[in-house]
A and B are shown apart, each in its own frame.
Chain A
Amino acid sequence: EADIYQTPRYLVIGTGKKITLECSQTMGHDKMYWYQQDPGMELHLIHYSYGVNSTEKGDLSSESTVSRIRTEHFPLTLESARPSHTSQYLCASSELGQNYGYTFGSGTRLTVV
């Protein structure tokens, strides 16, 4: 039973379109993260948030932006999609001190054609 939800699960979109990937969690976690993962490659942190109105860029440079207006919601937006944005995007949340790290969403597999 998932407590963190990502939509859509799969998305194919044309170059230049604006898209928003949704991520919501029902656990009341303060911390939320977006990771990008290409097939067979490691997860790269692209954005994170430690609470409402707090967002930071991660280790991997990304052309996407995020917002955190409510605790449970952490959407990621690409203003103009490009084929280089084709990847899997994973959202996760955590609570300080918890010993299982993150709870992950099911991911959004994005293809830009």
Chain B
Amino acid sequence: KQEVTQIPAALSVPEGENLVLNCSFTDSAIYNLQWFRQDPGKGLTSLLLIQSSQREQTSGRLNASLDKSSGRSTLYIAASQPGDSATYLCAVSNAGGTSYGKLTFGQGTILTVHP
């Protein structure tokens, strides 16, 4: 059974700092890995999706990497801003079927960026 772990559980940084969020998964047979942002009580905003054949994806100040063989992904946020404060969730889509959207989520990292 796939298990996804995110470290740290919470992170508080001053504005402008670069930071890294970590995600690990136990079963490397995945279709893709996705990073989401969730504001309190709100929906899931997809940030980046990395296909299993890819090593990284970039969007603006965000860069996500994937090392499928070691079961690890990192989300790098450059020049953090208070507006980045949210919970960041990592999720993987397991291979072996056609349910690509059946995701296993990590518990999330609660990020606080203070001015």
**A and B form one complex:** no
List residues of chain A with CB under 8 Å of any chain B CB. Answer: none
List residues of chain B with CB under 8 Å of any chain A CB. Answer: none
